A = this chain, B = another copy of it.
Amino acid sequence: MENQNISFEQALELLEQKKYAGLRSLLSDAEPADIAEFFEMIDRNQYAVVFRILPKEPAAEVFVELDSDLQQILIDSFSDTELSEVLQELYMDDTVDLIEEMPANVVKRILANYKGEERKTLNELLKYPDDSAGSIMTTEFVRFKQNMTVEDAFQYIRQVAIDKETIYTCYVTDVNSHLIGSVTVLTLLLSAKDALIGDIMEDNAICVTTQDDKEFVASQISKYDALALPVVDAEHRLVGIVTVDDAMDVLQDEAEEDFAKMNAMLPTEKPYLKTAPFELWKSRIPWLLLLMVSATFTGMIISSFEEALATQVLLTAFIPMLMDTGGNSGGQASVTIIRALSLGEVEFADVLRIIWKEARVALMCGCTLGLLCFGKLFVIDKWLMGKDITPIVALVVCLTLCVTVLCAKIIGCTLPLLAKRVGFDPAVMASPFITTIVDAVSLIVYFQLAKYFLHL
């Protein structure tokens, strides 16, 4: 499903034939996001050439959309004048993102372009913690005073619009820069020309603080269907806004991070096909190692039961089924709770309610599985396949199944809550980690029940 209003084939052909005027006119109709995609298709020694034929303003928008590797190659090819032209067109939040991605020498060149007030703002923004609202907000918003009229407001918007990230929601501050309200362009359009901003503004504007977690900010924007939310400092002074497009990016990045963490990987930022095998190895090996080492405990449990197993080798055949079912049950519970935590649906205080709910679900799941397994053991394994399964062995297997599912679900729902409580990311408490613990638990239960019922 291709949607861009630019033909990449045609653009590549024009580039190959060095028909730069044609390429320029083709690209001038394209969306910045599509031109950025075009950059991914061309050789690195062509980046500078193509970038130079873009008109100045879209060029900066394209620059923001590029991968940081590509941005660095371009900056290295820029003269100081070219660099300063691009930087002038960037919004502050994009500049901050750029600086955070670049190596020290590039950062130095970038910072040399900011003086006085601008440099101060930039330094302030760079100080906010990585995950905070402060780190993703932009300082380019429209600010009104209460005593402006609607006509003044429109005139002001016309003057400053070009430098602002959004004009559709504007903010009203008092003399000390405290946020006192907001007003949308829609309200302005529907109000009389001489109406006062102070009279038509929405007071009690929903806002976030610079220290709020960026995921929280994004979820607030989604909750209130807002196009932007104002960000205030500790003294309730308006210092920036976060726009809906950045909120979307935050939510998508966080989801990708969670998918990685929940599956025993360290998050990587690059698209898959552009990630080198060595980088994939780096993101995957730490958890594999850790989980391999912890899985040896399970081996120790089996070892300690070696002699008994030698007399009843039949029991070994059920180990994978018991371990997998336990792991899957625990994984279901843990992922459910991890997501509920991240959506703010549950918190640590709900721990007893959650355990009680999971216990009931576990009993239902455990009994269903246990009964069906019992039936299967007799119908398929004993009658059809002629295996030597006594009722008492079947009982041990099915009872283990019930108890394992119960333990798995309770461990699965408790660990993410505990992780959150002590300040860890609950996402690492997903299936792979839970599986390792539940494996050990299920084997202990299995062997204890076997010992008891089979008198081993």
Contacts and interface: CB of A to CB of B under 8 A. Distances in A.
A224 B35 CA distance: 11
Contacts of A285: 364-365, 368-369
Contact of A319 (B157, B319, B373): B319
Q: Chain A interface mostly helix, strand, loop or mixed?
A: helix
B272 A364 contact: no
Interface string A176-206: 0000000001100110000000000000101
B369 A3 contact: no
Number of copies: 2
Interface stretch (A122-130, A143-151, A323-331): A323-331
A19 interface: no
A387 interface: yes
Contact of A273 (B162, B168, B310, B346): B346
Contacts of A291: 324-325, 328
Given A222-B248, A278-B364, A295-B325, 16 more contacts: A185-B189, A222-B245, A251-B251, A273-B357, A277-B364, A281-B361, A284-B361, A288-B329, A288-B365, A288-B369, A288-B405, A291-B324, A295-B321, A298-B320, A328-B432, A431-B431
B306 A292 contact: no
B206 A325 contact: no
A21 interface: no
Interface of A: 1, 3-5, 29, 31, 33, 154, 157-158, 161-162, 167-168, 185-186, 189-190, 204, 206, 208, 212-213, 216, 220-225, 227, 244-245, 247-249, 251-252, 255-256, 258-260, 262-265, 271-273, 277-278, 280-281, 284-285, 287-289, 291-293, 295-296, 298-300, 302-303, 306-307, 309-310, 313-314, 316-321, 323-325, 327-329, 331-332, 335-337, 339-340, 343, 345-346, 350, 353-354, 357, 360-361, 364-365, 368-369, 372-373, 376, 387, 405, 430-432, 435-436, 439, 443
Contact of A29 (B204, B224, B325): B204
7 contacts: A259-B259, A263-B331, A285-B369, A299-B317, A299-B319, A303-B314, A431-B431
A430 B260 CA distance: 12
